[in-house]
Structure formats: structure tokens, C-alpha cells
């Protein structure tokens, strides 16, 4: 995915270690999710279940079974239940940066550690906190998140907000999140996202072939190419802004040049749209006044994806690929990236 999906640790446990309104709302929100979660077989057996919901949950069961049986992903507690929260976004994330920085501010908590966002189950609370940060001079973004993962710590459900997704997005999300449950480095979000994205991409290709839908692979690959182009555009803007903020120019000059950079970003996006034949799927991203915080969440894992794909090719199977990546757990971050993200591997 272009932007990191929301990851939550076991919030109920965190509440025992830390008091305060923020953690209490997080624990309360998670408790509501658990309360609303119903076993998928029970939902399917209920005659009052709408036909569309029934069809999509049957699809989820099929995709999950494929992930376990064909992609060798873990058969844990995730995606066995369904939770209709009655809203399009389960959580809203608040991200903040200083006025002249593209690096997000971080908040630290027991158990969850330090994270570069604050997630709120209540949108009004998220926007209220965002306004407070803005008044302190920060650039702020408040964005809805339709699903999140606890990395298997809790039984993550399929949310009602996911059922309207196209098949490849819904199946791919299941593959991606189960890949995180299969392998996760506590110190290396770049590798985590690259690994899960490679598993997701490979899983979708195999799944489309198994479903007799090989004709859709080209469209899927075109979507991935657009995603890569857009991510590269945002990363370049982020880099240009970082250079501007480190330039030593007077604040008034930096503010003017900052707005020019965001104007340049919109112009270059229009050029991308033309190259894509008019594809407008990212237009919504620009339907707001952009600032540093909107760029802070840009994924940086693309650099590791080609190396991991080569690793998969050399491994010859998904289980062997998982074992190879797992074997780097003993390495520090720099050595792990050198081995998996660097030069092409040679089969032995």
C-alpha cells in the first residue's frame, strides 16, 4: 500500500499500564470493535443478513482459506469475524509535523512504544486534537482509516467498510495483514511493509490465475505501476521540502517557497494523470490544502520491494521465501537491508 496501514498493539493491555483520556478512548474503541464482532458463520446463517453482505463474507472466507492453504499464511484469529461499525472509517489518524519539517512528531506509550500518529475511534475527538496541534504551529492531517491490524494480538474482524472494495483490494488486504502476522520485525517498518506488499502482490497474481481471471492481471499491474509513480512523486516533493527547510533561508522566504513546492506537486500530478490516460483515482488526495503532515506518512518501503521479489524468485516457493527473510532476524537493520534490498541474489 502507498501509505502504511494502521497498526495497534493490544490496547486493553496498554490501558492497565497507562491512564489518560487518549489511551482510555483507544481501549474503549477497541472494546466496541470486539463487542460488534460476530463470527462470520453466524452472520451467514442469519436469514436477515443482506444478500450483498452474505456474498462478500463468503468471498472473505474463500480468500482467507486461499491465503492459508496456498500462500502458507497463518491460520490465526483474524478475519473469522465481521464487525459493522456503521461508519465508513473505523479510526481517524492524526499526524503532525513542525511547520518547517517533513518528519512527523512521535508519541510514546508503554507496550505500544513510539508511534508517529495518534489514532482516534471518534472522528470529532481526532479533529479536536488536530486543531489543538495546529494552534501550536504544527502542520496537521486528520485522515480516516477503514481498517487496521493488531498483528494478531486480538481477533481482527472484517469491517463493514471493507465489503464495498473491489475483489483484488479485499483479498490483497487479507493477504497483506496475514503476512504481517507471519513475520514482523519490531524495529523495521520499511522491511515489514515491503515484505507484506510482496506477499500481497504475489498472492493476488496467483489467486487471479487460480480463479480463472488471468485477464485481470494486466489491470492489477497497471494499478501497481500508478501507485509506484505516485509514491515517487510524493517522495520527491518530501525530499525537496526537506532541503528547503535545511537551507537556512529566512522563515518568510521558506513559507513562500513551501507553497510553491506544493503547487509544483499539483502541477506534476496533472502531468502524471495525462501519462496515465486521464486516470483520476488520486484526485481525492488533492481535495484539501496540502501541508507537511500529508507527506509524512508517505511509504518509504518501495526501495526494498525489488530485492525482496528477487529473493522470492531465488527461494522458489513462498515457505522458503519466508524462511529466508526470517533468517535475517539476527541481523541489525542495516545488514538486513543490505542482504534483502540490495544487489541481485545468486542461487546456491
**pLDDT at residue 70 greater than cutoff 50:** yes
What cell numbers appear for 176 in the block? 497483506
The DSSP annotation for 134-173 comes to: HHTT-EEEEEEES-EE-TTSS-PPEEGGGTTS-HHHHHHH
CB of 87 closer than 8 Å to CB of 122 = no
pLDDT one-digit tens code per residue, 250-297: 999 999 999 999 999 999 999 999 999 999 999 999 999 999 999 986
pLDDT one-digit tens code per residue, 74-84: 999 999 999 99
Length of the chain: 348
User: What's this model's pTM, rounded to 2 decimal places?
Assistant: 0.85
Strands (E), the chain: 6-7, 38-39, 81-83, 91-97, 107-109, 113-115, 118-120, 139-145, 148-149, 158-159
Question: Rounded to whole angstroms, how far apart are CA atoms 242 and 262?
Answer: 13
**pLDDT at residue 19 greater than cutoff 70:** no
Under DSSP, the state recorded for 216 is G
Residue 320 exposed, middle or buried by CB count within 10 Å (0-12, 13-18, 19+)? middle
pLDDT one-digit tens code per residue, 147-198: 988 888 899 999 999 999 999 999 999 999 999 999 999 878 889 989 999 9
Over range 37-59, report the average pLDDT.
98
Under DSSP, the state recorded for 76 is S
Distance of CA 8 to the CA centre of its chain: 12
Distance of CA 116 to the CA centre of its chain: 13
State what percent of residues in the chain have pLDDT above 90: 78
Amino acid at each position: 500500500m502507498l501509505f502504511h496501514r494502521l497498526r495497534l498493539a493490544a490496547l486493553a493491555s496498554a490501558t492497565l499500564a497507562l491512564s489518560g483520556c487518549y489511551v482510555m478512548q483507544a481501549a474503549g474503541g477497541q472494546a466496541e470493535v470486539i463487542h460488534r464482532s460476530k463470527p462470520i458463520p453466524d452472520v451467514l446463517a442469519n436469514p436477515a443478513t443482506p444478500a450483498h453482505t452474505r456474498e462478500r463474507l463468503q468471498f472473505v472466507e474463500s480468500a482467507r482459506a486461499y491465503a492459508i492453504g496456498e500462500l502458507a499464511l497463518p491460520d490465526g484469529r483474524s478475519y473469522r469475524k465481521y464487525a459493522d461499525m456503521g461508519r465508513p472509517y473505523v479510526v481517524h489518524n492524526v499526524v503532525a509535523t513542525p511547520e518547517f519539517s517533513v518528519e512527523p512528531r512521535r508519541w510514546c506509550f508503554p507496550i505500544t512504544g513510539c508511534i508517529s500518529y495518534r489514532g482516534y475511534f471518534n472522528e470529532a475527538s481526532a479533529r479536536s486534537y488536530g486543531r489543538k496541534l495546529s494552534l501550536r504551529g504544527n502542520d496537521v492531517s486528520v485522515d480516516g482509516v477503514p481498517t487496521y491490524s493488531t498483528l494478531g494480538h486480538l481477533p481482527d474482524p472484517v469491517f463493514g467498510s471493507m465489503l464495498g472494495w473491489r475483489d483484488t483490494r479485499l483479498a490483497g488486504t487479507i493477504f497483506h495483514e496475514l503476512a504481517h502476522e507471519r513475520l514482523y520485525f519490531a524495529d523495521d517498518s520499511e522491511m515489514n511493509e515491503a515484505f507484506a506488499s510482496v506477499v500481497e502482490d504475489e498472492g493476488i497474481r496467483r489467486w487471479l490465475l487460480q480463479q480463472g481471471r488471468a485477464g485481470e492481471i494486466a489491470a492489477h499491474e497497471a494499478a501497481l505501476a500508478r501507485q509506484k509513480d505516485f509514491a515517487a512523486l510524493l517522495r520527491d516533493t518530501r525530499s525537496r521540502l526537506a532541503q528547503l527547510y535545511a537551507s537556512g533561508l529566512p522563515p518568510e522566504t521558506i513559507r513562500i517557497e513551501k507553497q510553491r513546492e506544493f503547487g509544483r506537486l499539483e502541477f506534476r500530478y496533472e502531468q502524471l494523470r495525462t501519462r496515465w490516460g486521464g486516470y483520476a483515482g488520486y484526485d481525492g488526495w488533492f481535495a484539501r490544502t496540502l501541508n507537511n503532515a500529508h507527506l509524512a506518512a508517505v511509504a518509504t518501503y518501495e526501495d526494498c520491494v525489488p530485492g525482496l521479489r528477487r529473493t522470492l524468485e531465488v527461494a522458489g516457493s513462498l515457505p522458503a521465501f519466508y524462511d529466508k527473510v526470517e533468517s535475517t532476524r539476527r541481523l541489525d537493520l542495516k545488514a538486513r537491508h543490505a542482504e534483502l534490498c540490495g544487489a541481485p541474489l545468486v542461487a546456491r
